[in-house]
Amino acid sequence: MKNLTRYSMGTLALAAVLVACSTGGKGSEEKRDRPERANIDAKTGHVSRPLDRYFLSPQDVLQIRKAEVSLTNRCMRDLHYESHPLPMPKMEREESNLSEFLVFPVSQVRKNGYEVTHKASDSKAEWSRRATRTQRGLLDGTLRHHNGKVVPKGGCSTFAAQALMKGTKPHRIRIDGMSITYDASATPDGLFDSVMSAMRYSTAVQSDSDERVKSVNEEWSSCMQEAGFQYASPQAAANDSRWSKGNEPTKLETTVAVADMGCKKEVRYLDTVVEVQSEHEREMIAKHSATISSLRKDSKVWLSNAEEEFNK
């Protein structure tokens, strides 16, 4: 199904002032220099940060997506197109987000280097392979009529989105140079994710300019130099133009990647970056508390709509 949430990236103003920096004293400096251990779920490898609690829960996302599929398939049936309906979604397993920090299991990089692949679920992939041009046209509204029926404006996908968003007002949300269009054609889960992801993206950019992150990058670079590799940052190593994406990794790539993971562990790279991002996220939450509150209020309406539509 198409994602109808639209947003544009602008130039971000980098913030350099942290909450932890506003208080003086030796204890404050020690806290800055000695970040806490990153909170990582041992089973899933998922790193927790303050903004996590404001994203829609997996259960809420599933409820919305089930209603969206139900509404879309109902719209298609009304247009007398009943073959190959969209599959009902299932609960998605929480996956590791360590790749956001360019941190991977050593066993993985030893085999695959820096190549990371994300496979679509079997049901989604199978539906996409079998979808006809007519079906896609009914979904996105590029077909205006079918079997004597008028296709809803924007197609059945927009029809479903509008039903789920009813009772909330369209407007635009701005997050530090990024703009997210909040209108009747945006799917609730896509909109919510876009706003929260924009906040996370902004804090990640701010963290990159933080002196603590710059310092740990320098320590990592020195460690890599001792291993025989010259890189200014983990991003430079992962994006080395010599690595052929999609092909079998070379021995050099896997060797560099293994050394990279070892150096990250040695200098406590992940602990530092996660702690710095977390500080910026707490500032972001305080700065945009009204937006978050409004979004969560609307989400209750969307979830109520989803329950009502799914049970029809």
Mean of the per-residue pLDDT values for the chain? Answer: 85
- Take residue 135 and report the two structure tokens written for it: 């079906």
What percent of the chain lies above the pLDDT cut of 70?
86
Domain residue ranges of the chain, discontinuous segments joined by +: 48-87+124-310
Question: What is the DSSP pairing of strand 145-146 with strand 6-8?
Answer: unpaired
Q: What is the pLDDT of residues 149-190, one digit of tens each?
A: 999 999 999 999 999 999 998 888 999 889 998 776 788 999
Q: What is the pLDDT of residues 214-259, one digit of tens each?
A: 999 999 999 999 999 999 999 999 999 999 777 789 999 999 999 9
* Cα gap 79→100, rounded to integer Å: 42
* Cα gap 163→307, rounded to integer Å: 11
Of the pLDDT bands very low, low, confident and very high (cuts 50, 70, 90), residue 27 is very low
* Cα gap 163→252, rounded to integer Å: 53
User: In terms of Cα–Cα distance, which of 57, 54, 68 is closest to 186?
Assistant: 68
Q: What is the structure's pLDDT at 6?
A: 30
Residue 292 near residue 143, CB atoms below 8 Å: no
Under 8 Å CB-to-CB from 33, ≥6 apart: which residues?
Answer: 212
3-state secondary structure 208-238: HCCHHHHHHHHHHHHHHHHCCCCCCCHHHHH
Q: What is the pLDDT of residues 296-310, one digit of tens each?
A: 999 999 999 999 999
What backbone phi and psi angles, to 5 degrees, belong to 87? -75, 145
* Cα gap 161→60, rounded to integer Å: 15
